[in-house]
Amino acid sequence: MTIRENLEKREHDILSPYAAFSDESKGRDTYEEQCDLRPVYQRDRDRILHSKSFRRLKGKTQVFLAPEGDHYRTRMTHTLEVSQNARTVAKALRLNEDLTEAIALGHDLGHTPFGHAGERILNEIYSEGFRHQEQSVRVVECLEKDGEGLNLTVEVRDGIRNHSTSGNPSTLEGKIVRLCDKIAYVNSDIDDAIRGKVIKEEDIPREYTEILGNTLRERLNTLIH
């Protein structure tokens, strides 16, 4: 029995019956031999992590355009926050952490520079519209590796395609990323706005802070736990 097969067996022993099991994946568009070490979702996570499009996230705006200082979030730091939050939830629910992490790391690969402002402009000038989640899938399917794509599994691409508010991911792991994306950007946008003196802490409505907490940490703990 290979290391991969042992890991797949461990998933069935430990994870919830509602989890997406690696050895039950619907597979890839192009057939590949299985790795002896890593189950399919681990391989997908690693491919995304080592991709050029992932590295480019560090220079893309989250909300603030060209802010002064090193503490404002970029698209990459947002992605890492989503991944960490989503893995915490997946672990607590005994779902597949590797699938969750792969979707989280890939969910914004096709996002524009200049944050949502950039996305709105492209949506206005492109006759068929522009949606970053669809562009993220295009990146992993058609643009990476000089047009070869990353050949990711069906489940990872489904989670990336459906991570936005209107989406409905087919796996619980994808649904976790969808929720944790919103949790991350809503709270981090507020945090960055306070840091940039756009708003003050006391500007946050009391009905919000009374339920979720007065600080970023308290709000994240409430929403994630």
- CB contact set of 222 (below 8 Å; sequence gap of 6+): 211, 212, 213
Read off the tokens for 147. Answer: 């047009």
Contacts of 201 (CB under 8 A, 6+ apart): 194, 214
Is the confidence at residue 115, as pLDDT, over 80? no
- Over residues 211-221, the pLDDT tens digits come to 999 988 999 99
Please write the tens of the pLDDT for every residue from 23-46: 999 999 999 999 999 999 999 999
For residues 71 and 137, the model is more confident at: 137
Token pair 């080592």 is found at 50
The tokens for 98 are 């590797």
Which domains are present in the chain? 34-57+71-224 (1.10.3210.10)
Helix (H, G, I), strand (E, B) or coil at 170: coil
Residue 116 tokens read as 């949502």
Inter-axis angle of helices 216-224 and 172-195, to 10 degrees? 170
Q: Are 150 and 24 in contact (CB under 8 A)?
A: no
- 75-89, 116-130, 196-210, range with greatest mean pLDDT: 75-89
Q: CA–CA separation, 211 vs 222, rounded Å? A: 8
Structural tokens at position 155: 């489940």
Q: Tokens 């994870």 label which residue?
A: 15
Predicted confidence (pLDDT) per residue in 179-198, tens digit: 999 999 989 888 888 888 88
